[in-house]
Every structure is written in C-alpha cells, then in structure tokens.
Chains A and B, each alone.
Chain A
Amino acid sequence: MSAQTSAPTAEAWAEAFADASNNDTEIQAHGKYFTCSYLLDATDRSYVIQVESGRVTHVTANPGPLDVAYQFAIRASADTWREFGQPVPAPMFHGIWAASFQRDMKLEGDILVLMQNLRCVTRQVELLRVVGSPV
C-alpha cells in the first residue's frame, strides 16, 4: 500500500489541518471546553497541535527537541499515518483506538487529557481523511 501525501510540506499540512479543524461544524458545536496540546508523531515528520476552547491556536511543524511542550503524544509510522489520510481508510487504520490495538500506533503521555478531550480529538484525527496524510 502506498498512499500519497497531499501536503507538499509540513508547514502546508499544518495550515490545512488548522483550517479544517477551525471550520469544522462538529468541533465548533462541541468544542467549548476542548483545550489541550498534543504531539502527532509521524516518524518522518511531527507536529505539536495546540487547541484552546475548540480552536487550533498553533500547529508547530517538526518542532526542535525543547521547542514546544505537549500533554500527550500519538505516535505511529509514516506508513500508518498515510493510511489515515485516505478518504476511506482500510480496516485498523480508521482510528487511534483501532491502530493502537492492531497496528503500530502508540498513545503516550498524559492519557487522561486525551480521554478528557476524546470526542473532539477523534474528530480531528478523522479530518485527515479530508486534509490528507501529515507525512
């Protein structure tokens, strides 16, 4: 399986992701208390996504070692994230629970914060089906 990235650069993907999230009606409707920061680690690229009250305030592409703090991390191989970026992902690449139980995804850090924001984080990850692969 060789899915293609739709983002030519990490910076372009970061901007497209922030736009998609900030214009998403579901997150707008339910994100009043959606506040957290997390690392999306795609091995070849990484991003720190910061959200305040439902709005993505900053996406840092390929942060340096001590650049940006985050509360939890979602890590997987570049190939796994490319599958997440398909319009209709194949089985086991259709969500962070599926890929964590059955593929190489790891959920690390303060998982309680992930659980507290699970509804909207789940939606953000599904936006990859529209935005495209982060890597």
Chain B
Amino acid sequence: MSNPKISPVTGHYVTIDVDGLEYKVFYLENGTGQPLVCQHTAGCHNHQWRGLLEDEEITSDYRVIAYDLPRHGKSDPPENTEWWKEEYQLSADHYANFIIALCDALELEDPIFMGSSFGGNIALQLALRRPDRFAGVLSVEGADYSPGFYLDWWQHPHANAAQVCASGTWDLMAPQSPEADRWKTWFYYSQGSESFKGDLHFYSVDHDLRGKLGDIDGEQCPVVMMTGEYDYLTTPEDSERTANAITNGSFINMPEIGHFPMSENHPVFRTYLIQALESLQKKKASVTA
C-alpha cells in the first residue's frame, strides 16, 4: 500500500490512583506547546475532539490531550474494585480529583483545561478548587447549576438505552451542523448508556456552584465560557449569568451551534475556540504583567 494516511494523533494509556481507585486511562494527543486538556461530554468519549486533535493551527501552539474519563471509551472502570456491585454516581470531588491526578501523572505544566457540558461544569469546579494547578479553564456549555437531566430513561430496561441516549441528546445539536458530524455524535452516544446517567449525577445533582462563583480566583485561573445558542440544557443566558459572577470571567456566545460544538461542527467551533484561547492568554498576561 502506498501513501498510507496515518494521523499524527497518538494514543496512550496511563495508570493513576484517585481516591484509592486505580484507573488505566486512555488518552489521545497531538501537538506541542502548552497542554490543552480536553474533557468529553457525559456518556461520551474523546472522539468528540477528533477535529481539534488534527487542527494544525492549534496543535502547532498547544499539546492537545483528550482523555477518556474512566467508564468511557477505552478507559475501563476501576481496576481494583467490584464496581459492578455499585451504582455509578459521579461526584464533583472524585471528578476533580481525577483530572488533577491525571495532570500530575502526565507532569503537565500550566495546563489549560477545557471541557464541554459536564466538562464545562467541572472546569468551573477546577477553577474554584485548584486555581494554582491550571493556567486557566475554558468552560464550554457550562453553568453554575444545571438541573433536570438526571433521568431514569437513560438506562431504563424496557427501552433501548443506546437509542434513548443517542436520540435523547440529538436535539442538543443545531440543525445547521453538518449531518455527518451530528450522526457521529449520535453514534458515540449510542455507546455510553451505562455511564451517562451516573455522569449526570454530577451534572444535574452534585454540581451546584450557586452562591460560590465569587470564590473563584479568576485572576490566578482565568475563566472563559462559551455556549451554543441551540443548547437547551445550559442556555447562553445560563452561561453568561455564570461568567458575569466570576472575577475576570468572560462569555462568548456561539450562534448556530449546539451543546456538542467540538463534535457537531469543529470548523465553526474552532473560530470561537481561537478567540477564547486568545482571551484567556490576554487575561493571564494582564495579571502577571
């Protein structure tokens, strides 16, 4: 075979300990420069970042790392517990501790954290908890509080959970996004029903930063929020309200895109992402100057 089309994106596993649980974590990476650590949305996996991972303009300045949270994609549930005997309910504490442990294990210096949806919410938690550990966070489709999606339907045994998760999140995407990319996202969502509901325990139940946003040290760890106008769960108004309550926080409205912007339409998302990265770097420079 001549001229095989081999992507520069590489995959690795790293074993880490978080709160006594041992995880073998899979991550994809490409690029050099400041680490840009990317969290997928609930019930999904790191292929949502497939466009970003091969975006040469961004990977020329950033080391893009997109991991699978345990129980997602190629990251298995804990190696050292009988996890099948417990209900999975992700907590803010464990989720944040996981991300910090991963960054420590990979010896990342001044990483920028970016997450979407429940990743956007944990971005805010990280900025609150460990402003010293991150150069800044990009909270995509995030808010201080996002109730209403911790539903039994995601794993109801009398329905096809794969299709309920995939089609139940279909409306979170914008009709303008390319059909092929929306269907890829649908396909990812058909794979994660057993983790989706447990993830949403964090998203809709345990995550609640109402009244705490003022405690985020947005000088040390700048926060940029960005939300698509077709997001019915965390609306642009929710994110803007949240950003306005954070010191040094800012908000970017994203027309004609939805709740999975990096996965449903990377070419549109990247224009806002570049703007967000520039904004974050300026905030950081103005503080350190």
A residues with a Cβ closer than 8 A to B are: 88-89, 91-92, 94-98, 101-102, 111-112, 115-116, 118-119, 122, 129
Contact A102 B235 (CB under 8 A): yes
Interface pairs (5), CB distance under 8 Å = A88-B175, A94-B230, A98-B171, A116-B160, A119-B163
Contact A98:B156 (CB < 8 A) given known A88-B175, A89-B175: no
Contact of A112 among B148, B159, B166 (CB under 8 A): B159
Partner of A97, one of B158, B171, B176: B171
Name the residue of chain A whose CB is nearest to the CB of B232.
A98
Main secondary structure of the interface of A (DSSP, over half): helix
Chain B residues closer than 8 Å to A91, beta-carbon distance: 174, 229-230, 232
B91 at the A/B interface (Cβ < 8 Å)? no
- Looking at B164, B167, B168, B235, which has the most chain A CB atoms within 10 Å of its CB? B167
B88 at the interface (CB under 8 A from A): no
Q: Given A97-B232, A98-B232, A112-B158, are A119 and B166 neighbors across the interface (CB < 8 Å)?
A: yes
Instruction: Report B143-170 CB contacts with A as 1/0, cut-off 8 Å.
Output: 0000010000100101110011011101
A115 touches B166 (CB 8 A): no
Residues A102 and B159 in contact, CB atoms below 8 Å apart: no
In the complex, B233 has a CB within 8 A of chain A? yes
Q: How extensive is the interface on chain B, given as a class? A: 20 to 34
Set of chain B residues within 8 Å of A97, measured between Cβ atoms? 168, 170-172, 232
Whole-angstrom distance between the alpha carbons of A88 and B179 in the complex? 13
Return the chain A residue nearest B231 by Cβ: A91
Instruction: Give the CA-CA distance A118 to B168 in the complex, in Å.
Output: 8
Q: Which of B148, B153, B167, B230 contacts A122 (CB 8 A)?
A: B167
Q: Chain B CB within 10 Å — which of A91, A95, A98 has the most? A: A91
Task: Please report the C-alpha to C-alpha distance between residue A111 and residue B164 in the assembled complex, in whole angstroms.
Answer: 12
Nearest CB in chain A to that of B166: its residue: A119
Among the listed A96, A101, A115, which residue makes an inter-chain contact with B159, where contact means beta carbons less than 8 Å apart?
A115
- Least CB distance, B264 to chain A, in whole angstroms: 12
Question: Residues of A contacting B167 with CB < 8 Å?
Answer: 118-119, 122
Q: How far is the CA of A41 from the CA of B102 in the complex (A)?
A: 51
A109 to B166, CA, bound (A): 22
Minimum Cβ distance to chain B for residue A107 (Å): 11
